[in-house]
Chain A
Amino acid sequence: AQKITQTQPGMFVQEKEAVTLDCTYDTSDQSYGLFWYKQPSSGEMIFLIYQGSYDEQNATEGRYSLNFQKARKSANLVISASQLGDSAMYFCAMRGSRSNDYKLSFGAGTTVTVRA
């Protein structure tokens, strides 16, 4: 079974500052993938960043970086230089291996509000 935990229901951040969104996970798979998705108020799901369980380097995509600590089973998302357009709900997700049919399980999400 896979479980994703996001403990921060909502966060406020000042424009141009950095924000860290927490994510912890639990899985029996040795190989797995971790994802972050953004869901703006319009409702669509936007892929942000991916981290593989065997990747030694932390993933980065523009202003997004993933702080991956495998031993602690955490995969925190860092958004640098926040912009007003970053206001959205953010979901951490984990994709299991073939034995789990590559299912993607989601956390409950964190709402980020960027203040001007």
Chain B
Amino acid sequence: NAGVTQTPKFRILKIGQSMTLQCAQDMNHNYMYWYRQDPGMGLKLIYYSVGAGITDKGEVPNGYNVSRSTTEDFPLRLELAAPSQTSVYFCASSHGGIGTNEKLFFGSGTQLSVL
């Protein structure tokens, strides 16, 4: 059972480059989330989705875009990478629609450096 799969695990970008972080889950979860974690800090919500075709901004959406064309996939797009986007990115999912007690299932993270 794969759970939440993120690729790549590591990436170095040059300033101004673009890339897509991939996230896929095989648990038929409706809710998916992208978080970033700066060194020594907590997780901040970038974007989230409550179902295919529906996305919304979190706390720190600037510089990122997402799409949710299927239940399984929730890619995060970085356009014109900046050093401030150097961070560890986590994708997470949950079934949703049941209650507040559902824990999130996290991917293993993508460590991104922008130089």
Residue numbers of A with Cβ under 8 A of B are: 4, 6, 31-33, 35, 43-45, 47, 50, 52-53, 91, 95-98, 101-109, 111
Contact = CB atoms under 8 A, between A and B. Distances in A.
Interface of B: 31, 33, 35, 40-45, 48, 50, 56, 58, 88, 90, 92, 94, 96-97, 99-104, 106, 108-109
Nearest to B95: A102
A47 B43 contact: no
Contacts of A111: 40
Contacts of B97: 98
Of B41, B43, B99, B102, most A-chain CB atoms within 10 Å: B43
Nearest to A111: B40
A47 B44 CA distance: 17
A47 B102 CA distance: 11
Nearest to B30: A102
Nearest to B88: A43
Contacts of A35: 103
The 6 A-B pairs at the shortest CB distance, nearest first, are namely A33-B100, A106-B42, A45-B106, A106-B43, A108-B42, A47-B103
A57 to B, nearest CB: 14
A108 B41 contact: yes
Contacts of A98: 97
B42 A50 contact: no
A61 to B, nearest CB: 12
Given A43-B109, A44-B106, A45-B90, A32 B100 contact: yes
Given A31-B100, A43-B108, A104-B45, 7 more contacts: A33-B99, A91-B42, A95-B101, A102-B94, A104-B33, A104-B92, A106-B42
